Structure 1
Amino acid sequence: MKLNFLTKGLDQPDFVARAVATVSIAAAAIMLGLLFWRLSEFLPIVFATIVIAVAWRGAAESFGARFGIPTGLSILTVALALVVGVVVTLMAFGGQLVRQYDEVALDVPAAIELIQRHVEEHPWGRFVEKFVLDVDYSKAAAPIAQHVGAALGSLGNAFAMTLFAIIGAAYLAADPKGHAERVVALTPAHHREKVSRFLQRSGGSLRQWLILQLYVIVMNAFFAGVALWAFGVPAPLALATISGALAFIPYFGSIIALVVGALVALPHGVDSAALAALSIGAASFVEGYLITPFLQSRSLSVPAVVLLFCMLAFGALFGAMGVVLAVPATVVLSVAYEVFAETQKA
């Protein structure tokens, strides 16, 4: 009798339906997890394509609205203007940039060797090497050369992925509404309104963030370049472009730029290295604590602690590409959370 009481619900159709649904959801989750793991190197490229498409479409819409040009023609015009701008910049500063980047490539290994030599000559350096770390600093140059060679060897793959992202972004920018409708059509009917709202909001938030980052990169490069040039630091143009590009990555980017600048200037003297670090650090301070907060107050802001942990998480999942794309991904996740919270309240 007791056994019948416990098992009488097993013959009911609704119990079977729930069991089948649970197993199906679990199987789908496992399959998605395996797919996510297999495509871990490909997913950042897809997201980068989406970010490029959002920026491209936003610039085209602004240009078209200002001059009364159809969207398709404005997309092509923006692409041509970007190509012309890059070509003109390279014609004007290309030779100087190449020379300064060559200087950077020579000075960084020289600075590392100089630091190694001073560490080995200092009594504390020999103590740490022998009794604490058990590391031979004299053998540290070989791994550096290997890493440089590996980086050069991956340039071809990076170029191919960049080309793929640009081509994919062109398709997305040409018809964002059509692609969004296809994504919505793939979702269950009772979730389509939420997905549509999420896609619309995330596109607008990404566009705002990209405009903010454009100002950040330009301002950081400008302030760093002026300070480096005024202090007579070697390769000021190359270091300014490096500092501006790394400003795309909050927190870590400024630290990397400061270290690179100090290493480049170190073979020319400790004073030069200190001035390089001071120039890049001051530019990052002005950009990070004065300009960026002002711009964020007029657009959007992600809590710093959330951003920091997301950068660490995406870096662990996707490597360097994950760190670069962590901020826009966090913006998209914050929009998804807002849509979910609104749905729960409703």
Structure 2
Amino acid sequence: MEPEAEAEAEGGSAATGGTGLAKGLGAFVVRSLIVVALVVLALALWRLRDVLSIAFGSVMLSVGFSGLADAIARRTRLSRAWSLALVVAVALGGMGLAVEVFGAMMAAQYDELAQKLPRSLQSITAWLNASPLGREVVGMSDNALKSAAAGPAPRMLARFVAGAGQALTYALVMIAGGVFLAIDPERYRQGVLVLVPRARRARAAQVLDSLAQGLRLWLLGRLVVMAAVGVLASLGLWAMGIDAPFALGLTGAVLTFIPYVGAIMAALPGMLIGFLQEPIKAVVVAVLFWAVHFVEGTFITPLVQDEVVDVPPVISIFSTVVFAVLLGPVGVFLAAPITVVVILLVHLLYIEDVLGEPAPVRRRRGRRLAWPRLLRRRGV
């Protein structure tokens, strides 16, 4: 080969190698920037977790308001705007009326609870002091309380007061956000869909509609269950002669929004009050709450939520713990609806779209039930 040809070949290979090196370096830089952007996004989402919780709560309220408004508009001559105004007015008016009618009675009963719970704890302490093992337990508890009072207790009290004010502010923002989302949900739906590639936009619309319908059905069923548990628990405690039965029943109804864990939390105040009256009544109250939740789980929940996505008990319990750690107290109440949304997304986007299999069905009392069939039947 001539010297000139060899020089040209060497120059060409060097140029090719330089171009390949530049492309490889450019791809590495792009990948590094993507990783950094993802890390920054994750940190930003973590810092904004309270905002995300409020946003999810607003979406959940919006789904409920929109569902009721659409149902009223279909069955009456009212427009959707007037139907939504009626729903919001009835909801807020009902809350105000409940506070006006039952507020004084509930405040008196909660005040009674605040006075009786310490006496219940004193009675339990006296009962424990009757045995050597009990005295050891009481001594350990006293030491722990003294250490807490000397150390973190004042800070915890101040944090609790600040948290209560923050929770009230979050609740007001959540309600306002839910109302504004319900006024024009299609606008925000289209805003989300425009971010999806055109080829996947139709499927994304189906997924959003399925999520809204599934969450709406779950929320409606949960509200029915809460009302039933509150009425049954209040009547049962009143019949047994337990002090402050309606306050305890209301507490049980609110805590029922938390599946499984809420049932245990709801029984504890009633058991303490019952123990103060008569030690045996603590056991009777525990049996009453067990019976109420047995009726709820056996008859009421299957009736109102038979074809909504089924969340296994273990997943419900662990999701409550996980979201409580991630989101704080608000995560305890939002854990169940977030879990419902996650399960629906897994069914729709992974089981159906990726695996190409039909979504799982569940059997109860010999009937074959599937939440996708219900959604399709309702036009989703």
What's the TM-score, normalizing by structure 2? Answer: 0.80
- Is 1:270 the equivalent of 2:279? yes
Match of 1:239 among 238, 245, 248: 248
1:217-242 Cα deviation digits (max 9, x unpaired): 01111111111111111111111111
Match of 1:221 among 198, 218, 230: 230
Q: What is the distance in 2 between the residues matched to 1:244 and 1:180? A: 33
1:226-278 Cα deviation digits (max 9, x unpaired): 11111111111111111111110011100001111112332222133333222
The 1:113–1:39 alpha-carbon spacing in structure 2 relative to 1, beyond 3 Å, is farther
Does structure 2 conserve the Cα–Cα contact (< 8 Å) formed by 1:206 and 1:331? yes
The 1:27–1:145 alpha-carbon spacing in structure 2 relative to 1, beyond 3 Å, is closer
Which of 185-194 and 285-294 deviates more?
Answer: 185-194
1:110-163 Cα deviation digits (max 9, x unpaired): 222332343344311233466xx5862674895889766654443322221111
The 1:248–1:100 alpha-carbon spacing in structure 2 relative to 1, beyond 3 Å, is same
State the secondary structure of the residue aligned to 2:54.
Answer: helix
Equivalent residue, structure 2, for 1:124: 133
- CA-CA distance at 1:93 after TM superposition: 2.3
- Is 1:174 the equivalent of 2:152? no
Does structure 2 conserve the Cα–Cα contact (< 8 Å) formed by 1:111 and 1:263? yes
- Is 1:290 the equivalent of 2:275? no
Equivalent residue, structure 2, for 1:35: 44
The 1:153–1:21 alpha-carbon spacing in structure 2 relative to 1, beyond 3 Å, is closer
| Count of aligned residue pairs for this structure pair | 339
Describe how 1:76-155 pairs up with structure 2 within 5 A.
76-128=85-137, 136=143, 139=146, 142=149, 150-155=159-164
The 1:244–1:134 alpha-carbon spacing in structure 2 relative to 1, beyond 3 Å, is closer
Does structure 2 conserve the Cα–Cα contact (< 8 Å) formed by 1:208 and 1:300? no
Opposite residue 311 of structure 1, the aligned amino acid is T
State the secondary structure of the residue aligned to 2:237.
Answer: helix
Q: What is the distance in 2 between the residues matched to 1:321 and 1:64? A: 33
Report percent identity of matched pairs. 30
- CA-CA distance at 1:73 after TM superposition: 1.1
Opposite residue 344 of structure 1, the aligned amino acid is V
- Is 1:22 the equivalent of 2:19? no
Equivalent residue, structure 2, for 1:61: 70
Q: What is the distance in 1 between the residues matched to 2:157 and 2:278? A: 24
Equivalent residue, structure 1, for 2:10: none
The 1:309–1:21 alpha-carbon spacing in structure 2 relative to 1, beyond 3 Å, is farther
Does structure 2 conserve the Cα–Cα contact (< 8 Å) formed by 1:266 and 1:272? yes
Equivalent residue, structure 2, for 1:186: 195
Runs of 5+ unmatched residues, structure 2:
1-12, 357-380
- CA-CA distance at 1:21 after TM superposition: 4.7
Q: What is the distance in 2 between the residues matched to 1:134 and 1:96? A: 34
Equivalent residue, structure 2, for 1:343: 353
Does structure 2 conserve the Cα–Cα contact (< 8 Å) formed by 1:9 and 1:15? no
Does structure 1 conserve the Cα–Cα contact (< 8 Å) formed by 2:125 and 2:138? no
Runs of 4+ in 1 over 6 A off after TM superposition: 143-146
Q: What is the distance in 2 between the residues matched to 1:65 and 1:214? A: 22
Which of 325-334 and 195-204 deviates more?
Answer: 195-204
Q: What is the distance in 2 between the residues matched to 1:222 and 1:337? A: 36
RMSD: 2.8
State the secondary structure of the residue aligned to 1:41.
Answer: helix
1:281-339 Cα deviation digits (max 9, x unpaired): 22122112332134332333122232222222212211221121111101111121122
Q: What is the distance in 2 between the residues matched to 1:236 and 1:31? A: 51
The 1:234–1:288 alpha-carbon spacing in structure 2 relative to 1, beyond 3 Å, is same
Does structure 1 conserve the Cα–Cα contact (< 8 Å) formed by 2:261 and 2:317? no
The 1:139–1:54 alpha-carbon spacing in structure 2 relative to 1, beyond 3 Å, is same
Q: What is the distance in 2 between the residues matched to 1:9 and 1:311? A: 55
What's the TM-score, normalizing by structure 1? Answer: 0.87
Q: Comparing both chains, which one has the higher relative contact order based on Cα–Cα distances under 8 Å and sequence gaps of 6 or more?
A: 1
- CA-CA distance at 1:43 after TM superposition: 1.9
Does structure 2 conserve the Cα–Cα contact (< 8 Å) formed by 1:194 and 1:339? no
- Is 1:165 the equivalent of 2:174? yes
Opposite residue 354 of structure 2, the aligned amino acid is Q
Match of 1:156 among 130, 153, 165: 165
- Is 1:325 the equivalent of 2:331? no
State the secondary structure of the residue aligned to 1:154.
Answer: helix
